A and B are shown apart, each in its own frame.
Chain A
């Protein structure tokens, strides 16, 4: 497969600028780049979701017609999206077969399909149970189904978009060994990533994108993390440095808290203490109760049983406004749908939590000047790149939006900070900035809860670490006391069974 001169513009922004590279048979190529570097756009052009403004895609010697996913499928290109495209209520088998038969074909012929799936499963070590409804599968299993689905359609080139974003370290390792097995059988793989260590571990060759251009191509064996990081960012990024902890008293405490399941897996008798000047990291595979924990601290849900205490006093009425009033700064997991209102301006979003404060409204009337000044202050103070405070916030990049939300959360020196996936999907520069700001807040004495799926981040920032599994929370431990592998095992449930027995 070969890409030549791919260029794609979006309203004045060049997402892809004259990108060319080739993929050989049996090769694993990693497409590395910061968010916004144009990786996903490129993959969508490759697969025919977008039409390139210039350039073309060649597969097995033939030029693909642009903008035609079906032609890409027929040419043997399979794509596994970051967000899976599976129907929850259908079985694995039906999901795989879906779309491969003609609409009015009377027979589904499940038997031969099952045989073919079994063959694929044993060839590549992709164990799937064809009879189970997809809704009952874990995330890692769903990804396997997606891969089997592509292989079932005789894909010879597989494209994976951020495949490890939702996996535990163990699952990610299994995925990469599957990819190796596939490459050994002559399939070609492209995977998109912004994580250096997995690129180093799993690829044969790395193509680095920055600002929509190919800025470098390396054989993985002949390069280093530092070299790739430099190419990707264009500058050196120092790792965050955790200063001496200045531990103080407990600011927020959970005692045997159980919640409802309106925000995913409910909390199950969770106890936790957040102390001043300390970052508590919560590790875990997504969907094990982190959503409920974040919702609880945000004020979106109240405990069904157990108590939530601020300082020494247990809280009675609990709401987002109460949480704000109690001095909890909140950085939500999903900045696009929860953290910000895309169609409102940067300034309006900046004061959304404090509209009724004396500072920003008097007798119900907004103080436009104060709001604009405040927004301008956040934009300046948190290095938000935006055209003006009046710009709709949806026009900002993810990193800049997150910086604004960070500024909003840290405004007024909150005593407790909830940071839920604060750096997910951000580019390296923004990640470093957000982490620095969290550390600065820690130094000022805030009690910080950091929820992250990125184990490296948990290790880099946390004083103490807890692991969540199926709504339950491990005892906190010092970050130096366990290895990442041990935590990975806990994330998969080790140590939680005994607790239940006891």
Chain B
């Protein structure tokens, strides 16, 4: 068996393989569902219904997709410039910490002033958190996969320290949680009484802005140039180190917005389980979207739908909701293979 590069993949194959990838995902999941003793068709219907079968389900999916869009964008931007930011989780928490610090009454401002101020400060915190690994990479060649990954653990322990210490809610009955942010620091709900909040709109707008940046600006072109071929970019006079640092600031800021939006829009306070791995899922979201900012919105919706749907399904069918993890992971693997197949053909002998 060997691989031969295809110079110009035809349009049908570029569409067909991703569809095939989704089908394979369902086949694999079906096998597991049958092992759990349930009917695959019934389970998938339940998943679909749980994800989009009612207004509640649909809004829940959109709510869950919101942080995934931010972290997905953060990863997509960074990966495009070959900055392997595995630390979106830490940057998310950095944004959340800033939101809590500024949003619990420290700044007595009206909401139209306070919310943008907190959002920008959160972005700064996330950006600064990724600045260190980016500078280590450009100055000393330190591998950012290692530094950003390890910062996740540093950050979660730091947050734990804060929640047991200075940020601990005195009225929290001893639970490690922060005070709730004041009303002026809350992102309003889109529909009164439902959980979906304005963070979702901000996420969609962010995706569009990032798309414009990548497609229409000199910076975006420089980022892609550095990502595709740093050597050629440097030769062409593009300041590779500066571009990587700018990318890091943008990526870290986006991930931090996820933390801001979760605290300010949804939870209202900071806890250690604010993010069930949104930073890591952001990698999956970005890869499924092939690093396309608009694609990130759709892949985030897909991943959120599977998680939300599987949660609902596991309550009625006797299938553990871990099936969602398996499906997302399988979708990622098959998508990677599908992308490879659009660029290479396999020859036997």
Contacts from A to B (Cβ < 8 Å): 10-11, 51, 66-68, 298-300, 319-321, 323-324, 330, 332, 337-344, 348, 352-353, 355-356, 360-361, 364-366, 368, 394-395
Contact = CB atoms under 8 A, between A and B. Distances in A.
Given A337-B229, A341-B225, A343-B228, A361 B237 contact: no
A319 B219 contact: no
12 contacts: A67-B347, A299-B237, A300-B234, A320-B234, A320-B235, A330-B235, A339-B235, A341-B229, A343-B228, A355-B238, A360-B218, A364-B217
A395 B237 contact: no
Contacts of B8: 11, 395
A64 to B, nearest CB: 13
A365 B235 CA distance: 22
B349 A67 contact: yes
Contacts of B231: 337-338
Contacts of A68: 349
Most buried by B among A67, A300, A355, A364: A355
Nearest to A351: B221
Given A320-B234, A352-B238, A361 B218 contact: yes
A361 B228 CA distance: 21
A355 B232 contact: no
B116 interface: no
Contacts of A366: 216-218, 221
Given A51-B349, A365-B218, A344 B225 contact: yes
A382 B302 CA distance: 48
Given A68-B349, A352-B238, A344 B224 contact: yes
A344 to B, nearest CB: 6
Given A341-B232, A344-B225, A348-B221, 6 more contacts: A66-B349, A320-B236, A324-B237, A352-B233, A355-B238, A361-B217
Contacts of B238: 320, 352, 355
Contacts of A338: 231-232, 235
B7 interface: yes
Contact of B221 (A298, A330, A355, A394): A355
Contacts of A324: 237
B349 A364 contact: no
Interface in B215-259: 216-219, 221-222, 224-225, 228-229, 231-239
Contacts of A360: 218
Interface in B292-349: 347, 349
A419 to B, nearest CB: 14
A411 B224 CA distance: 23
Given A11-B8, A298-B235, A340-B232, A364 B219 contact: yes
B228 A341 contact: yes
Nearest to B219: A364
B42 interface: no
B237 A321 contact: yes
Contact of A332 (B217, B225, B235): B235
A10 B344 CA distance: 12
Contacts of A395: 7-8
B242 to A, nearest CB: 11
A339 B7 contact: no
Nearest to A394: B7
Task: Sort A-B residue pairs by CB-CB distance and give the 4 closest, nearest first.
Answer: A321-B237, A352-B236, A320-B237, A361-B218
Contacts of B221: 348, 355, 366
B154 interface: no
Contact of B232 (A51, A66, A319, A337): A337
B225 A321 contact: no
A352 B221 CA distance: 9
Most buried by A among B8, B221, B234, B236: B236
A392 to B, nearest CB: 8
B235 A355 contact: no
B7 A319 contact: no
A400 to B, nearest CB: 14
Contacts of B229: 337, 341-343
Contacts of B219: 364
Contacts of A337: 229, 231-232
Contacts of B225: 341, 344, 348, 352
Contact of B239 (A321, A332, A341): A321
Contacts of A66: 349
A259 to B, nearest CB: 16
Contact of B218 (A340, A353, A356): A356
A25 to B, nearest CB: 30
Contacts of A339: 232, 235
A342 B343 CA distance: 14
Contacts of A341: 225, 228-229, 232-233
A344 B299 CA distance: 25
Most buried by A among B6, B218, B225, B347: B218
Given A11-B6, A341-B228, A319 B237 contact: yes
B239 A355 contact: no
A337 B229 CA distance: 7
A368 B229 CA distance: 22
B244 to A, nearest CB: 16
A323 B234 CA distance: 12
Interface string B188-218: 0000000000000000000000000000111
A130 B202 CA distance: 68
A348 B220 CA distance: 12
Most buried by B among A341, A342, A365, A395: A341
A497 B171 CA distance: 85
Nearest to A298: B235
Contacts of A332: 235
Contact of A365 (B216, B228, B233, B239): B216
A352 B226 CA distance: 11
Nearest to B213: A364
Given A340-B232, A341-B232, A353 B237 contact: yes
A299 B240 CA distance: 14
B140 to A, nearest CB: 16
A66 B349 CA distance: 8
B65 to A, nearest CB: 29
Contacts of B234: 300, 320
A353 B236 contact: yes
Contacts of B228: 341-344
B238 to A, nearest CB: 7
A361 B239 CA distance: 16
Nearest to A360: B218
Contacts of B232: 337-341, 352
Nearest to A339: B232
Contacts of B217: 361, 364-366
Nearest to B6: A11
